[in-house]
Amino acid sequence: MSRFDTVEFPKDGDGCRWDSTPHDPLTRVRFQGVGHVKVNQHRLVVGKVKTVSIKREGRKWFVVLTAEQARAEPLPATGSVIGIDLGVANYLVDSNGGFVPNPRHGRKAAAKLGAAQQALSRFPRRKARDRTANHQRAVEKVAELHGKVRRQRLDHAHKTALGLVREHDFIAHEDLQIRNMSRAPAPKPDPGTPGGFLPNGAAAKAGLNRSIADAGWGVFLAILHAKAESAGREVIAVDPRNTSRRCPECGHTAKENRLTQEKFHCQECGHTAHADTVGAVNVLQAGLVRRDANQA
């Protein structure tokens, strides 16, 4: 196990056994050649355990289970529909005017992570078996901080998605091409200077890319779709083009409608609102149109 960070046992009972001491109030997992290991079980396992994996993150070890469950009962209907607009200034804005602040877990941990990475950079790159004790501690410190941020981001995504699924029967969101959005800008050659380049906004784009990665939209949307399917809710992705430039009252679309990052003012009918709320309303309207078209 010292050579790997994750080992998976494809069948419970073949090389491992989950809850190997059922008569004991403490939960244990038994590994062949190791014996019984106590587990800090944070929630009840529902269904029949199919596979067991052991995973290492720094100095911590985790047991990951996959279980076969009966199809979950759908949640009671609420009659509510909602559109959501994902962003970096706010994590999420909905069509009812609600805001979910962006926790910015990565930015909050940036100072500690930078110091830990700087300490690690003082050591030459070596395989784990050739590292000194101080080198290994530096490696584990960086891994620990990365793991904490990842778990915080995942926890926030789960809680936000669960709240939406519990409260709404239908959820519409933008079909975001996250990989394209976080792509580095192309260089701009300077025609007046052979071999020279003009400013292309790469520094500002790099900051935006870090904010997009820190928000974790892809993880959130994957969790939202999974929870909605389990709860019998409907989630639809819509084309994000012009959702923040189109007036939801009169339909006028123009880039001049969005005065700033936050302010929306329709140049045709005078409608004003928060720009992200306007985007969420337009996402909902487009989602309902697409749902009706699918049902027709």
Spot the catalytic one: 12, 85, 169, 214: 85
CA distance readout (Å), 244 to 31, 136, 164, 198, 275: 54, 49, 22, 30, 6
The answer to whether 197 and 189 are in contact (CB under 8 A) is yes
Side-chain-side CA neighbours of residue 170 (13 Å): 17
Specify whether 174 is catalytic.
yes
Locate 107 and state its tokens: 């930015």
Tell me how far apart the alpha carbons of residues 61 and 50 are, in angstroms, rounded to a whole number.
Answer: 20
Spot the catalytic one: 12, 94, 214, 276: 276
Alpha helices in 122-268 (DSSP H): 133-167, 178-181, 202-215, 217-231
**Residue for token digits 């923040």?**
244
The helix/strand count (H/E) of the chain reads as 7, 15
The answer to whether 173 and 92 are in contact (CB under 8 A) is no
Spot the catalytic one: 12, 94, 174, 214: 174
Tell me how far apart the alpha carbons of residues 259 and 272 are, in angstroms, rounded to a whole number.
Answer: 10
Instruction: Tally Cβ neighbours within 10 Å of residue 78.
Output: 12
Locate 30 and state its tokens: 């038994």
Specify whether 14 is catalytic.
no
Residue 262 DSSP class: S
Give the residue numbers marked as catalytic: 85, 174, 276
